[in-house]
């Protein structure tokens, strides 16, 4: 596991940003791994929606643990979205993350945005980060701050202050979703002493542009899950109207079956 965690850390220090696609179940993760992605994350929205639960309210700790167990044997480095840790107790968060690490996770994503649209106290998040790093020192902790995501006034100073607090607590990377403005990202990359993670936005800058701005990691977040939902609904609508044509790359039944472990576990 030490080698796998070191390999994941190293992916944040290459000439091109790490593209981190986010899966929501075994099939999506296995299909992405089969396409050669060396690492992937999970999407809390996808996991929650698949389970019929709301996202961001600490309702899917069990589902996230079970998914991590299912993905452990895939040939890919896995980092897990744990929302805000599924608890306000740093010791409980650390214990939960240690379970994920024991299953094979090499990193986590821990956020400071709350379901009511406000930001958690940075000291609370820092305490959680410190507890996790004490429990699993070489796990990659990607600390997400939702200053831009939640539209707070004058987000730059808050972002930098929170990034400093999270880094001091042991965070290995800082995730700032909600902005793809290249000048802003360049400033953040220059002033945050850790790999900067941005959220890909359709129509926004591509990997190379983001890399030139100093971004080290680009996540797809819930995009793939939402795109899959859109494709499923569009396909059903097309079948109903009599005009569906199978797109290139549509996997066959046998190909999907091939993504499942032989013992079905």
Would residue 264 count as lying in a domain? no
**pLDDT value of residue 246:** 85
* Domain span including residue 142: 15-259
Domain tally for the chain?
1
**pLDDT value of residue 19:** 98
Would residue 88 count as lying in a domain? yes
Tokens of 112: 């400071």
Would residue 195 count as lying in a domain? yes
User: Could you report the per-residue pLDDT of 96-137, keeping only the tens digit for each?
Assistant: 999 999 999 999 999 999 999 999 999 999 999 999 999 999
User: Could you report the per-residue pLDDT of 165-201, keeping only the tens digit for each?
Assistant: 999 999 999 999 999 999 999 999 999 999 999 999 9
Would residue 7 count as lying in a domain? no
Q: What is the CATH classification number for the domain harbouring 104?
A: 3.20.20.60
Would residue 5 count as lying in a domain? no
Q: Are 80 and 109 in contact (CB under 8 A)?
A: yes
**pLDDT value of residue 248:** 87
> Angle between the 182-191 and 155-169 helix axes, to the nearest 10 degrees?
40
């Amino acid at each position: 596991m030490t080698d796998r965690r070191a390999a994941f850390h190293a992916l944040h220090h290459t000439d091109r940003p790490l593209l981190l696609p986010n899966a929501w179940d075994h099939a999506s993760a296995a299909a992405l791994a089969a396409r050669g992605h060396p690492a992937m994350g999970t999407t809390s929205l996808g996991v929650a929606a698949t389970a019929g639960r709301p996202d961001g309210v600490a309702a899917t700790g069990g589902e996230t643990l079970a998914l991590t167990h299912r993905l452990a044997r895939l040939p890919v480095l896995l980092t897990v979205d744990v929302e805000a840790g599924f608890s306000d107790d740093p010791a409980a968060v650390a214990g939960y993350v240690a379970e994920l690490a024991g299953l094979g996770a090499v990193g986590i994503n821990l956020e400071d945005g709350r379901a009511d649209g406000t930001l958690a106290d940075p000291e609370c998040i820092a305490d959680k980060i410190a507890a996790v790093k004490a429990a699993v020192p070489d796990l990659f902790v990607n600390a997400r701050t939702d200053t831009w995501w939640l539209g707070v006034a004058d987000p730059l100073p808050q972002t930098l202050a929170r990034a400093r607090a999270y880094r001091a607590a042991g965070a290995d990377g800082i995730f700032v979703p909600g902005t793809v403005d290249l000048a802003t990202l360049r400033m953040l990359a220059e002033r945050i002493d850790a790999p900067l993670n941005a959220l890909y936005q359709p129509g926004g800058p591509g990997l190379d542009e983001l890399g030139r701005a100093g971004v080290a990691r680009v996540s797809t977040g819930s995009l793939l899950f939402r795109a899959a939902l859109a494709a499923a609904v569009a396909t059903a609508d097309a079948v109903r109207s009599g005009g569906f044509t199978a797109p290139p790359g549509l996997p066959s039944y046998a190909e999907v079956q091939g993504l499942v472990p032989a013992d079905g576990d």
